[in-house]
Amino acid sequence: MKDASNDIQKAMMLTTLTDEWIKTIQLFGDVESVIKEALKFYSIDQCKQRIRKAADQISFYNGKYHFNYNEFKQTIQTDEKFLSKVETQNPLWEEDAMEWEYWHEEHQEWQNRLEAILRQ
């Protein structure tokens, strides 16, 4: 955690706030607290955007294959008839499956990150 706090300190030193910004921030409270809160809200917003993007991609594949990722993965491994049908209808299904898995993991990673921020 020290590395992250060192990165933040470096970023703060490199970031120049104009006098007008400082005066405005002071109207809302302690400058450091206001900046931390602003960064928290920004981080939450960015996480939510990433989660929505991943969810949109997951939804696309759910619709394309009429399964959620875990059901698809299980069925493709255990049902030869289903596998044959998928291969016929979508010859590049394996690429889809890899991308689908990526978006599934991406969604979970950003969800975990958001939850960690919200717990602070």
Per-residue model confidence as pLDDT tens for the chain (120 residues): 456 667 766 666 556 667 777 788 888 888 888 888 989 999 999 999 999 999 999 999 999 999 999 999 999 999 999 999 999 999 999 999 999 999 999 999 999 999 999 998
Rounded to 5°, the CA angle 10-14-20 comes to: 130
> Phi/psi of residue 88, each to 5°?
-70, -45
In a domain, 12, yes or no: no
Tokens of 96: 């889809």
What is the rounded end-to-end Cα distance, in angstroms, of the chain?
13
In a domain, 1, yes or no: no
> Phi/psi of residue 91, each to 5°?
-60, -25
In a domain, 98, yes or no: yes
User: Based on the structure, what is the number of domains in the chain?
Assistant: 1
CA 29 to chain centre: 31
Domain interval for residue 47? 34-109
